[in-house]
Structure 1
């Protein structure tokens, strides 16, 4: 999957719209004979009411990986939170957030999973540090947004009924 993303980025470079990258990525997946679904509808159920809000998953590969295509200046915590919410709503095991608007594609990749034993390694780990008095801390070489990520993860955890989530290799307990 990542090789297909790299191939698209190598040919197009940064600076285009998300829709162009999405269409080219789907073409690349077809060339590689990978099964995928583009713009898969994501129904939303709120207190038993089915809402047709128009949410769509950019690409679902092999019925097990959500690929969220971005073309932004930099990935923000809200982009990871969006992918985590999609994982929770679809119950799919993994997501890949790909920002094509970067000079080197590896700086625009975020891998997320609810299952720590999943074959996709995480982009970062959320761990509890005693020095931070039990507050989640993001271990990563990437910059910023630790408090915002922690707040977003708390919201996702609350939506899961306090069961906790797994982000990367470490569980964030309830």
Structure 2
């Protein structure tokens, strides 16, 4: 079985609700957070896969079309590739908040589906997110969880950014809390 890191997008990989951008509805509004490229590259060295799992309710609410979202994700993946960092696949929920779908986090369908598709051992994998719904989705899927922010009582670890979270994940893996 293989191991993976599942990353939320907005607030983990890119800016959201900042002075430059409120929400990302086109590639030119996509700004990487500091250290993200280095963090993902380091995770690539230790994990079989790095995935993005993101709620994108703006589609269901009519703020953006799926075609626009694909352009944003293509841009994100291409820019990371230029820095030697790889995202293996992006999964997203296009439904409105409170639509009752099974894919929207805090549900775990996106993580579980990627796990099945790529033969991932979810117990040997990690979910990283900046909201309680990300952490809940990871817990429901059976992954270890890392919260980006100041505090989350459900998370296995809390760090202020992906770069520091990646360092902890790699160390956690090495010391055997999550052996292969």
Identify the structure with the greater strand proportion: 1
Identify the structure with the greater helix proportion: 2
What TM-score do the two structures reach when normalised by structure 2?
0.31
* Rg larger for: 1
